[in-house]
Chain A
Amino acid sequence: MKFKEFLIKSGGVISSIALLGSMFTMSGAFYVPDAKYTCSVCGNEFSGLYRNPEPTTYQEYYSVGNIDGFSSISSSHVYSGTLLKIVFLNGKPICKDCLDKKIAEYKAANANSLSTPGVGNTPITVTADPSTFSVTVPTNVPLVINADGSVTAPTDVKIANGSAGSVQVSSIAMNNGDWSLTDYNGGNRSKLAEAKVDSKKLGLSLTAAGNAASTSKDGSQTPSIDVSKWTMAGGTELPITVGAIATANSAEAASEVTAANVVFTLAWV
């Protein structure tokens, strides 16, 4: 087949091919190849597609304001399947999945933001070290039994709360020492009148704010107390009045003895 005949017979086909080629060339003028990015968070690679007109920013897409560290690139690449511009986190690209998570975290942390007029519940969070527990207690409660049977007790017994918070004496235990505890009986010594001399019995009472913790029977015991009376605000003192009765002694004590022990249990209010 000669070339002329060929043109005549196949002119329609060639024209179609030429037209198609021409069309292809025209659409190719708007095509930009996908860009490849590596997510700075998960490390996965993802595609960025060109879109025109100007695609959506993350602020518009997620309905958020500017978030520190997040930015959109100046080009018009978008995440695949969206019109959302590729977002950079601290100058490095981030994939759509990781971006969704970051935005979700941001929204959760700022969930109390009001988009409409209303009441916002705003928690007040405080970070604090435990308060220092600083309390001064008596090192001892010395008693002196006089020749007439009376007992001289110290008048300066107190507990001082040097802490910032309130402290209370939650319980007081009175335990036998070299002497055995007996009924204080309101300070009335009539019960001891028939006790044997040198039987070493001691009745003890500690009073704070009008509330007395007194022995009421023989032996070690934990008198009930009104804890509210044994409470100290921070930086205050609790004076304690000591009362005691004791049995007679046939001879002067050769040396000081620990007649009993008092156990103060302290705690924060």
Chain B
Amino acid sequence: MKKKALSMATGAVLAMAMTASAFAAGGNAVALDQGKSENKIPVPLTAAATTFDVTVPTNFPGTLDPTTGKVTAADNAIITNNSYGSVKVSQIDVENADDWHLAAFATDMSKVQVDSNKIGLQVTPVGGKQGNGTTGTALPTTDASATKQTLLAEGGATAGEWIINGKDAADKSNQLTLKYDMNASAVSAAITNKTVANIIVTVAWNA
């Protein structure tokens, strides 16, 4: 019982110590000059680092249709900014996984050998600061590298489309849907939940 009481007291003291407080002192107003007393009052400011709180998709699943060869992606890949300040997707990289290889998204996979394990991707921002439902510029993979490609770079031409407003936004602009599309070569044997690539999304303060 004593331990519980002591614990509660300690907690209360700790809570009080953590609570930010500000007190304004007082001083004499300056003397009247031509009937007026002008008093310049400074507004000193102390700021803590704003908490960074952003939710990103845990994976980007896709299903390859064995008949048409088309890949269906999920449509709920959403990045949500729960921070007070605005954030941005500053960089998007794509890396191959296992024995799969990156290829241009525009590749006609019908002309590619079966089991050549090629995957093409493109990502597109929807929503965010640019406006709810507004679709931005698609960023596709190319044939530049089979192992790693950077689709979005810091300060890129379309960087402004990847800004996500703070949590107090009234128009849901604190959410951005990361629309993705995939284009894969045919496989001779079924695969399930195989990681064929990784999309690396870097999020930072929009500073």
A residues contacting B by CB (< 8 A) are 133-149, 152-154, 156-158, 160, 170, 177-179, 188-190, 192-199, 202, 204, 246-253, 256-268
> Which chain B residues in 21-44 approach chain A with CB under 8 Å?
21-29, 31-32, 35-44
Whole-angstrom distance between the Cβ of A19 and the nearest chain B Cβ: 91
Determine the distance from Cα of A263 to Cα of B39 in the docked complex, in whole angstroms.
Answer: 5
Which residues from A are CB-within-8-Å of B22? 142-144, 152-154
* Number of B residues with CB within 8 Å of any CB on chain A: 47
The contact of B86 among A147, A197, A259, by CB within 8 Å, is A197
Q: Top 9 nearest A-B pairs by Cβ distance?
A: A248-B85, A149-B84, A259-B45, A193-B169, A248-B50, A193-B166, A135-B29, A197-B85, A145-B47
Q: Please state if B41 and A248 are interface contacts (CB–CB under 8 Å).
A: no
Whether A136 and B206, one on each chain, are in contact in the complex, defined by CB atoms closer than 8 angstroms, is no
5 new A-B contacts at CB < 8 Å, known A139-B27, A204-B43 = A138-B27, A145-B45, A145-B48, A197-B205, A268-B32
B50–A149 touching, CB < 8 Å: yes
Residues in chain B near residue A149, CB distance under 8 A? 50, 84-85, 166, 168
- Report the minimal beta-carbon distance from B73 to chain A, rounded to whole angstroms: 29
Known contacts A194-B129, A197-B207, A204-B43; is A136 also within 8 Å of B49 by CB?
no
Nearest B residue (CB) for A144: B20
Instruction: Tell whether, in the assembled complex, residue B49 and residue A263 are in contact, meaning their CB atoms are under 8 Å apart.
Output: no
Contact assessment for B32 and A140 in the assembled complex, using a CB-CB cutoff below 8 Å: no
Among A139, A194, A267, the residue within 8 A (CB) of B165 is A194
Please state if A142 and B39 are interface contacts (CB–CB under 8 Å): no
Smallest CB gap from B32: residue in A? A133
Of all chain B residues, which has the CB nearest A170? B36
CB distance from A188 to the nearest CB of B (A): 8
Q: Is B183 in contact with chain A by the CB < 8 A criterion? A: no
Residues in A with CB closer than 8 Å to B101 are: none
Report whether A263 and B38 are in contact in the complex, using a CB–CB cutoff of 8 Å: yes
Known: A140-B41, A193-B167, A266-B39. A256 touches B46 (CB 8 A): yes
Q: What A residues does B37 contact at CB under 8 A?
A: 133, 135, 265-267
Smallest Cβ-Cβ distance to B129: which chain A residue:
A194
B168 / chain A contacts, CB cutoff of 8 Å: 149, 188-190, 192-193
Cα distance, A182 to B198, chains bound together (Å): 42
Query: Is there a chain A Cβ closer than 8 Å to B122's Cβ?
Result: no
Greatest chain A CB density within 10 A among B28, B29, B129 is at B29
CB atoms of B40 and A267 under 8 A apart: no
A185 to nearest B CB, angstroms?
Answer: 11
Contact of A141 among B41, B48, B86, B166 (CB under 8 A): B41
B78-104 vs A, CB cutoff 8 Å, 1 = contact: the mask equals 000001111100000000000000000
Give the residues in chain B near A193, CB-CB below 8 Å.
86, 165-170, 173-174
Of B22, B31, B35, B51, most A-chain CB atoms within 10 Å: B22
Which of B20, B31, B38 sits near A133, CB closer than 8 Å? B31
In the assembled complex, the CB of B170 is this many whole angstroms from the nearest CB of chain A, namely: 4
Question: Separation in Å of the A8 CB from the closest CB of chain B?
Answer: 107
- One of B35, B43, B44, B166 near A194 (C-beta < 8 A): B166
Tell whether, in the assembled complex, residue A252 and residue B35 are in contact, meaning their CB atoms are under 8 Å apart. Answer: no
Task: Point out the residues of chain B lying under 8 angstroms from A258, CB to CB.
Answer: 42-45
Q: Which residues of A contact B38 (CB under 8 A)?
A: 263-266
**Could you name 17 residue pairs across A and B whose Cβ atoms are closer than 8 Å?**
A136-B26, A137-B29, A139-B25, A142-B45, A147-B48, A160-B26, A193-B165, A196-B207, A197-B86, A197-B87, A249-B48, A250-B50, A253-B45, A257-B45, A261-B43, A262-B43, A267-B36
A261 CB, nearest partner CB in chain B, Å: 5
A147 to B24, CA, bound (A): 22
Q: Are B28 and A135 in contact (CB under 8 A)?
A: yes
Q: Give 1 or 0 for each of B141-174: 1 = CB within 8 Å of chain A CB.
A: 0000000000000000000000101111110011
| Contact between A138 and B207, CB atoms less than 8 A apart | no
Contact pattern, B 105-135, Cβ under 8 Å of A = 1, otherwise 0: 0000000000000000000000001000000
A204 CB, min distance to chain B CBs, angstroms = 7
Which residues of the other chain, B, contact A146 by a CB distance below 8 angstroms?
Answer: 20, 48
